[in-house]
Structure formats: structure tokens, C-alpha cells
Structure 1
């Protein structure tokens, strides 16, 4: 009798471990898409053999493909007709601006998410401005070199 109880407990433990391991793959899929745009999340889930289904949206300032995924959970694997429809991820979208401004609602700049988005946009803006300034300096240098060559040729 004791052997049956030990065997039964061992089988239950093995089943729990295997269920935990199977669930780990799905958990990583939903964590991986949080913070991405819906378009990027759809592409990432597609590479994993899954599809994205919008569960909820907050805000109406953007097209769905530009909205930010705020959370994701695996959809029920059985539909209303009792048929399996695995491989679907329910996503919740924030369709406001990335971070709040005086004109647009969004994540607070005091929140880690809002601060991160703001700093990334600020760094991208500074990089664009630096590239534009370098291109302008290069164009001015080329123009001066052309004028110098023209003066020397006269």
C-alpha cells in the first residue's frame, strides 16, 4: 500500500513538472511582446507559430498597428463550439501616445515605462539632429571646395 502511495505521489510530481515546463514556453511568449507595437508583436508571435487577438484597447489616438501592447495572455484553447483553437495570444493595447504630454495622454514621465520611452525618443531625436548637422557641414565643405577650385581655375 505504501508503494502505491509513493508511486502515485511520484507520478503527480512528474505531471506537475511537465505541465510547468509546457506553460513556461507560453509565458515567455506573452512577456516578449509586452512593450512592443501591435505590428511587432504580431510578427514576433507569428514566428512562434501563434497569432495575436486584441482583447482590449485603451485610447483611440493611434491605428492598432501602432498601439503598444501592455499585457498578453494565452487565449483559451477551446472555443465556444468545443473545438481547439490553440496558438492564440490575447493582447491588451494602449492606443494613447507612448508618454503623456500637455496635448496627448499616455504613460507618466514619472513611471519607469514612460521615462524609458521618453529617453529613447530623446536619444533618437538627438541622433537625427547630429546626422543632419554632419550632413549640412559636409555639404558646406563640398560647396567651399567647389568654390575654391573655381577660383583657382580662373
Structure 2
């Protein structure tokens, strides 16, 4: 019985110690930059005073700034004394294939989740380009998509700017 109590107390003490030393994981307030083009994501990082570094690349069909960010994380590098080095350096994994495959152009299948999402967004932006008034009542929503994805016409951008609250 005493061994059982001692084991439970030991386990609780160990758990408290681990939590106290930061073993709870990372409660990250890091922004989600996945799905953005590298150009737009790196602009955001630079706006925060950081540096964008390409960690890995898949494909070669797109210019680097047009590649889609599949993962972004702040670099956790320690110097020789164990202190954090390279604060503000962000590592990016990029997909440089087209968002949706086309004849002779590798990319996501339109039937895949990522391809279906890309086709849907392309459709929304195409309809907004034809009739910017579709964004009435949803200006901030349309603006967010124009900021994060390519394809918005200059006319649409001007309409959104003129009608922003």
C-alpha cells in the first residue's frame, strides 16, 4: 500500500516538475501562413521585422514568390551557450507546382482537398472580378482573399478600397 501511495505521489511530483519546466508544449500564437504565396507570406514576416528563409521546395513550375507555403515555423536555433539565436527567422516549406494541375502543368488534382479549395477560390475571385458588387456587405472578406491570393483585378481592388469601412 505504501509503495502505491509513494508511486502516485512520485508520478504527480514528476508531472508538476515537467509542466513547471515548460513541458506543456508550445502555446503558439504564431500566425497561420500556410496557403499564402511565398511573396505575400515573406512580406508579412518582413513587416514584423523578421526574415523569411526557404527550408524546402517541391516542384519547379512557379516563380519562387508565387509558390504556396505548405508550412511555416519560426526557427528555433541555439547558439553555443544555449541561448536562442536567429530570433525572427522563419522557415518556409514551399510547393512550387500549380495550385491546380492543368495540361502539361503539374499541380494538385481538382478532386483533392487542396485542388478543390484552389478551384473554389479561383471561382470566387473570377466572379468578383466580373461584378465587384458581389462583395457588398462582405468587403473585409473579399479583401482578405485579394490580399492572400492572386487573381484580383485592379478594378476589384479599387472597388474594395473605395468601399472599405
User: Shorter-normalised TM-score: what interval?
Assistant: 0.5 to 0.7
Alpha-carbon distance, 1:51 to partner: 2.2
| Counterpart check, 1:14 vs 2:17 | no
Q: Provide the residue aligned with 2:155 in structure 1.
A: none
Structure 2 residue matching 1:25: 3-state secondary structure: coil
Name whichever structure is richer in helix by fraction.
Answer: 1
Q: Provide the residue aligned with 1:51 in structure 2.
A: 51
Provide Cα deviations, 1:20-69, integer angstroms capped at 9, x if missing partner.
3xx2226x33xx01111111211333344432210111222222111100
Question: What TM-score do the two structures reach when normalised by structure 1?
Answer: 0.63
Instruction: Name the count of aligned residue pairs.
Output: 123
Contact 2:61 2:106 in 1 (8 A): no
Residue segments in structure 1 that go unaligned for 5+ positions in a row: 132-154
Separation of aligned partners in 1, 2:14 and 2:126: 62
RMSD of aligned residue pairs (Cα, Å): 3.1
Structure 1 residue matching 2:78: 3-state secondary structure: coil
Q: Provide the residue aligned with 1:72 in structure 2.
A: 72
Structure 2 residue matching 1:102: 3-state secondary structure: coil
Q: Which has the larger radius of gyration?
A: 1
Question: What TM-score do the two structures reach when normalised by structure 2?
Answer: 0.60
Q: Provide the residue aligned with 2:125 in structure 1.
A: 124
Q: Which moved more, 1:59-68 or 1:6-15?
A: 6-15
